[in-house]
Chain A
Amino acid sequence: MIDKKLRRLLLRVQKPARYIGNELGSVHKDKSAVDVRFAFCFPDCYEVGMSHLGIKILYSLLNDMDGVSCERVFAPWTDMIAEMKKENIPLFSMESMSPVSEFDIVGFTLQYEMSYSNIVLMLKLAGIPVLSAERKKGDPIICAGGPCAYNMEPIADFFDFAMMGEGEEIMGEMIAAYREYKHSDMTKDEYLRRISHIEGVYVPSLYDVSYNEDGTIKAVEPKYPDVPRTVKKRIIDDFDKVYTPRSVIVPNIKIVHDRVNMEVFRGCLRGCRFCQAGMIYRPVREKSVDTLMGLAHDLIAQSGYEEISLASLSTSDYSHIDELLDRMLEWSKENKINFAIPSQRADQFTKEFLDKTTAVRTSGITFAPEAGSQRLRDVINKNITEEQILNACRIALTGNNTTIKLYFMSGLPTETMEDIDGIGKLAFDILYLGARKGDKPKKSIMINVSVSAFVPKPFTPFQWMAQDTREKMREKHVHLKSSVKSRKIHISYSDDETSHLEAVFARGDRRLSRVILRAVETGCMFDSWGECFDFEKWMAAFEYCGIDPAFYANRERDYSEVLPWDHIDVGVAKSFLMRENELSKLAKTSVNCRDGCAGCGIKQAFGGEICR
């Protein structure tokens, strides 16, 4: 399968195993035995893409369908790109090493805004026309899914359609519609029109966007009466019974999340006002403990991994968490399996919880206070008190653990320098916890404070708010750093340039497609990688296109403004987001889905029984 030319080339690049596949669990279907070939593209390198849960689910789902094959494609690293260009090798898939341009459907998963340049890059490497309008019948159909698809306007010109919501639901219908198109004389326009009737399918080219003189959007209008005015996301009703793969691909090289990833529930019952995932994945739907135990057992036995991550947006919120942990513990001790819980809420962290999760192997402990003062935590509806944070850290430090990692955001709406001071103060209070002579004095503890810049996201209560300018971000960084002078507290920041661009694309509109095209033409790629990111090139691309990034990132919107994503319905009502935004200005919290109903609208959108 690997010819001499490719072999020679692979020996010249770093980590060649990224490109050859054939890992245990990968599926190799005979291409002549299927009529729909789907290339699942992740616009980042192998180690990042293979760590993503969605790709594993959809890969298995598609390959389990008769007549359909799904192969993986990742963005080749920069050294490989250079070699491929030199040798005239187009972008190829992992499984059959076929050129991506041979596939029927090429699907990109949109996980973060900073991967947009890589989409264009990959289409170019594949030799596929980048713009939807330039692709004819016979060219691959290019589609998208994933969280960024909910506002895919900045990349709308590249895609034929996007799938809103949960892929497990929509894939079958999408494939059936494609078959009809492929095996008939239906034109591409007719096909796109046809699939726009599938609930959850968004065909950007079927909408006209007009603008006001001030640059804001005037209206987004469907071009034809049969094209839906709003596109509503699809969801799975019964998450316990939903298709879940019993086997995974086991990479031969170390990837970012090198473990079994098991999704415990989808959605989040908190309503943190900055958090897009907490809104777009609503409502909360859980798997049962029995289902999870069976799944954990199968996945560990098949993969040989010794670690399993209980994944969700907030795993300690699982309604049967105690039972799950007890049963996991019993099973994992016997089998030397470590189970990890990626995010722990400080208000639910107990000694028992700590003991259970570190019984087989110890691991670091991370809390996310998000903001330094109680006022600001109330603004964002975090619903955690300082006492709860301190208490959780006190417990965390009773084990063998000497390091605590804390996540904060800076630039949140209403933030002042006093709130920034609060971050340092909280870190010192935790350090002091460790230093105090108590039952078990600590030799040395380290506190890692990670501060990321707030990026306002669509479909959140803060979607109208302005992001701090880069100058303001840096001013706050300097302020925090100068106020914390301990070698035991380590502070790291997200890069202000990346955060700025992320904010531009998160709430961008269709006019940004040109900027992305230009940026890629001038060499931008792998923007989420510090060593590749070139902010100057991006700024030059904005200037070239006559577009001011501050219009998107640093401008507060009026409630009456038409937002680029208003024609997409994620089930959470805009009126709810406004209400929440107003409450935030008063630093008033609202209730979580378990304690009451804040009336987000998801019940009305998907039926009353959906929230448990």
Chain B
Amino acid sequence: MPMKVRLTFKKTDEAVFISHLDISRLFVRALNRAGIKVKYTQGFNPHAYIVFGVPLSLGYESICERVDFEVVSNETPQEIIERLNRAMPGGIEITECLEPQKKFKEIGFARWEITAEKDGPISDEEIERMRELFSSDEIIITRETKRTKGEVNLIEKSRGIEVGREGENAVKITAALSSRPEDVLNPEYVVRAACEKLGMEFYDVFYRRIEFFDENMEIFR
């Protein structure tokens, strides 16, 4: 019996440098190596029918990437996880294999963990000012995409932005940001807001996507 599955996978360590396009090629080859047969498209150039959720920028980590395909061989979800993990290069790890509940277009938000590191120690006052900033009703930022440039209210596009200390030099920001297919907000705008509005400067910033939610902030599965 063909089975529709949705995998959750981690993309960490050296795998953060693999682009979205390359990840999809990599999955096809991993499925082949693992001997898991999936549904193919028809036509002159048949290819494996696999669909990814929201793309991840190069350099960002994630522990909640999602990919859908239809398995036509007879592996159990546990077997799929084990066999695929053996066939994956370093930095990619499958953690879950479930039947899809919702459609990708129902994704509403993604929670991010942003670790922003300063050149030197970060003061309690600076952290407090960041908390204040992100608890206001409105933070207007200029957003540029390939097609458009416009002003948006960062707060309107988020569901809670929390700020906490991370060691002596860094701050950890946890933010649920719009990830609707037509309106994906890159987490770097959060850091940019702190830089622009508070005049802060960071030496190094790490981004990690930790979970997807629907419009009602229920975990997306």
Contact = CB atoms under 8 A, between A and B. Distances in A.
B44 A304 contact: no
B139 interface: no
Given A10-B17, A304-B33, A306-B28, A336 B40 contact: yes
A361 B22 contact: no
B33 A8 contact: no
B46 interface: yes
B46 A336 contact: yes
A397 to B, nearest CB: 15
A305 B22 CA distance: 13
B18 interface: yes
B33 A23 contact: no
Given A16-B58, A361-B46, A304 B29 contact: yes
Given A11-B59, A252-B26, A336-B46, A303 B19 contact: no
A597 interface: no
A304 B31 contact: yes
A225 B33 CA distance: 56
A591 interface: no
B19 A17 contact: yes
A22 B90 contact: yes
Interface string B61-104: 00000000000000000000000000111110000000000000
**Interface range for A:** 20 to 34
A199 to B, nearest CB: 40
A253 B18 contact: yes
A288 B218 CA distance: 60
A333 to B, nearest CB: 11
B21 interface: yes
Interface string A300-322: 11111110000000000000000
Interface residues of B, number: 29
B32 interface: yes
Nearest to A253: B22
A10 B14 CA distance: 11
A321 to B, nearest CB: 24
Interface in B40-59: 40, 44-47, 58-59
Given A8-B204, A11-B59, A304-B87, A20 B17 contact: yes
Contacts of B40: 336
Contacts of B14: 1-2, 17, 20-22
B21 A305 contact: no
Given A10-B17, A23-B89, A253-B19, A304 B46 contact: no
B105 interface: no
B3 interface: no
A24 B89 contact: yes
A360 B18 CA distance: 29
Given A250-B29, A253-B19, A306-B32, A361 B89 contact: no
A254 B33 contact: no
Interface string A358-375: 001110000000000000
Given A8-B204, A253-B19, A305 B29 contact: yes
B30 interface: yes
A304 B30 contact: yes
A303 B33 contact: yes
Nearest to B22: A253
A17 B25 CA distance: 14
A4 B117 CA distance: 12
A102 to B, nearest CB: 21
Contacts of B44: 361-362, 400
A189 to B, nearest CB: 43
Contacts of B13: 2
20 contacts: A2-B14, A8-B204, A10-B17, A10-B59, A15-B19, A20-B14, A22-B89, A22-B90, A24-B33, A24-B87, A24-B88, A250-B89, A253-B22, A304-B28, A304-B87, A306-B32, A336-B40, A336-B46, A362-B44, A362-B45
Given A2-B13, A305-B32, 20 more contacts: A1-B14, A2-B14, A10-B59, A16-B58, A16-B59, A22-B90, A24-B33, A24-B87, A24-B89, A250-B29, A252-B89, A254-B22, A302-B33, A303-B33, A304-B29, A304-B30, A304-B32, A336-B46, A361-B44, A361-B46
The 7 closest A-B pairs by CB, nearest first: A304-B29, A304-B32, A304-B33, A16-B17, A17-B17, A11-B59, A22-B90
